Amino acid sequence: MNKIINISILLSLILFTGCLKRPIKNKRVNYRVQTIPSNNMIIKEAYKHLGSPYRYGATGPNSFDCSGFVYAVHRNLGIKIPRTSRDQSEIRGRKLSKNELRAGDLLFFDTAHRGHVNHVGIYLGNGKFIHASSGKAHSVTISDINAWYKDKFRWGKHVYDAIPSRF
């Protein structure tokens, strides 16, 4: 009987602590990340938020989740896109492979391998992208598309087929 009670208590603690949220820190993370020089306005806007903390459901200006980051970057430039990564992945246009990507394109991932998009970022070029990560960085960071994300990448999308010259 004691064994059952101890197991019940242990399971309850595991379940309870798993539901706790990380404390929200509204401080930028200061670490060195190599940026890629660009004249692309989407990338310039995205770089302004590098190091901002990750927070689920946030759309800025001080913290972001992945789709909230992409949404805010475009909103700040007067470009209307959907709010969630799944809806963003359904923006009109052809799905792009890695070798078709251009700086400023949206990248979509299935990080849980569940058959649907659950993460989004902005392509910088040279195999790098900027995104709000809920992982180790827990902030807006730059990652390599060919590292941890390699088998999770699903497709990219051009926000516009004919990108205006200011982009």
Catalytic residue ranges: 66, 119, 131
Q: Which of 79, 82, 147 is nearest to 117 (CA)?
A: 82
Residue 75: other Cβ atoms inside 10 A? 16
φ, ψ for residue 126, nearest 5 deg: 55, 30
Q: Would you say 108 and 97 are in contact if contact means Cβ atoms under 8 Å apart?
A: no
- At 57, the amino acid letter reads G
